[in-house]
Amino acid sequence: MGIRERLSGNEASAIAMKQINPDVVAAFPITPSTEIPQYFSSFVSNGLVDTEFVAVESEHSAMSACIGAEAAGARAMTATSSNGLSFMWEMIYIASSSRLPIVMSLVNRAVSGPLNIHNDHSDAMGVRDSGWIMLFSENNQEAYDNLLMAHRIAEHKDVMLPLMVCQDGFITSHSIENIELLEDEKVKEFVGTYHPDHYLLNKQEPISVGPMDLQAFLAEHKYQQAVAMRKAKQVILEVAQDFEKMTGRKYSFFEKYRLEDAEIAIVCMNSTAGTTKDVVDSLREKGIKAGLLKLRVFRPFPAEELAEALRKTNVKALAVLDKADSLNAAGGALFSDLTSALYTNGVSIPTLSYIYGIGGRDTTSKHIESVYEDLQEVVKTGSIQNPYRHLGVRGLDQRKDG
């Protein structure tokens, strides 16, 4: 029987970390993730965990400390946001290329500049190709649950890759919601103990970590990373099945909400899915067959599974909502990945790209309703005037303006 609580997303994440009881946590404060290491440091001070908490002088140092800890054979965690993740950028790649299963709580916030402390996904999208597994969380419950599953995924022998759990800054990180926690002993049993095969402090097997890797071997090592990312897909599903048996809460690569008979649908990630579900329900009451596909696993990208899921629907027009602009003049990252997946797997659905919510700009039910209205127009006319659109920007006719 779970423990009913009311917690913010940050506090729920910190409690998940407490229950995991990692060997090392290294962190540097940055809004809006600061509360996570702040809460966790109190658990350390109160003797509730055995963790070595390292208060470093920068985010670059935080990831460096996590890399050193994991390389030595310890289980390491951290948390950051926005420019903090940018400051880690060099070490983010080193962590993944060294196959170190560090777990990070990433509280999404706009990356400077100009300076903005509110939510969008530009931080996560900036490292989307760095070799980290990326899970997105609609609400506080999912942020908590994703963290509990994270080590089981990252530390699997077929994977051994770092993993970040994303949630929307302030929208979920600072909002209090009802949540169901697991008992400490259940978490301890579920997560298990970390036993790496290779680590620096194993005197029986002298190794080096992060050596020079030139033409003779780098291609093969990068291929091994790619294979591990593909294998992570099956591991994610297996861990989710075990989690469902324990909690009754079901997770997969994505969630289909009233999608089976939908004629128009939105694809999005994180907290916007909650608003979209409410709009879908409202439209259904009016006889409009709207649906939603909420992506939970962004890396590895479930291309074949997404294409197959949409192939089995009656969706005639699709909109992809990106909370970050790739600034490539061709839509956002999720849009690019999804349309590529559809094309490669032989699925043809007219698809619109929407950039929205930049720098914390409110995305209301009316905004989501306008997207579904645009989709109805596409179905009616059979044409798209402009596939690359911006939602909620003042002074734009989004059907015409780029």
Q: Are 104 and 78 in contact (CB under 8 A)?
A: yes
- State the Cα angle at 258 between 252 and 261, rounded to 5°: 115
Specify the pLDDT at position 2: 87
The 3-class SS string of the chain reads CCEEEEEEHHHHHHHHHHHHCCCEEEECCCCCCCHHHHHHHHHHHCCCCCCEEEECCCHHHHHHHHHHHHHHCCCEEEEECHHHHHHCHHHHHHHHHCCCCCEEEEEECCCCCCCCCCCCCHHHHHCCCCCCEEEECCCHHHHHHHHHHHHHHHCCCCCCCCEEEEEECCCCCCCEEEEEECCHHHHHHHHCCCCCCCCCCCCCCCCCCCCCCCCCCHHHHHHHHHHHHHHHHHHHHHHHHHHHHHHCCCCCCEEEECCCCCCEEEEEECCHHHHHHHHHHHHHHCCCCEEEEEECEEECCCHHHHHHHHHCCCCCEEEEEECCCCCCCCCCHHHHHHHHHHHHCCCCCCEEEEECCHHHCCCCHHHHHHHHHHHHHHHHHCCCCCCEEECCCCCCCCCCCC
Q: What mean pLDDT do residues 231-253 have? A: 98
* Predicted confidence (pLDDT) per residue in 80-117, tens digit: 999 999 999 999 999 999 999 999 999 999 999 999 99
* Predicted confidence (pLDDT) per residue in 190-211, tens digit: 999 999 999 999 999 999 998 8
Tell me: pLDDT of 402 over 70. no
CA distance 185 to 13: 17
pTM score, whole prediction? 0.97
Q: In this structure, are strands 317-322 and 351-355 parallel, antiparallel, or unpaired?
A: parallel
CA distance 176 to 5: 10
Tell me: pLDDT of 399 over 60. no
Q: What mean pLDDT do residues 367-378 have? A: 98
Reported as a pLDDT band with limits 50, 70 and 90, residue 400 is low
Specify the pLDDT at position 92: 98
Between the CA atoms of 220, 222, 223 and 227, what dihedral angle is there, to the nearest 10 degrees?
140
Specify the pLDDT at position 27: 98
Tell me: pLDDT of 316 over 70. yes
As a whole-number percent, the residues of the chain with pLDDT over 70 amount to 99
Tell me: pLDDT of 398 over 80. no
Specify the pLDDT at position 396: 84
Specify the pLDDT at position 188: 98
* Predicted confidence (pLDDT) per residue in 229-241, tens digit: 999 999 999 999 9
CA distance 89 to 302: 25
Q: Which domains, ranges and CATH numbers included, belong to the chain?
A: 3-247 (3.40.50.970), 254-390 (3.40.50.920)
* Predicted confidence (pLDDT) per residue in 121-165, tens digit: 999 999 999 999 999 999 999 999 999 999 999 999 999 999 999
* Predicted confidence (pLDDT) per residue in 5-36, tens digit: 999 999 999 999 999 999 999 999 999 999 99
Reported as a pLDDT band with limits 50, 70 and 90, residue 303 is very high
Reported as a pLDDT band with limits 50, 70 and 90, residue 186 is very high
Specify the pLDDT at position 1: 65
Whole-number average pLDDT of the chain: 97
As a whole-number percent, the residues of the chain with pLDDT over 90 amount to 97
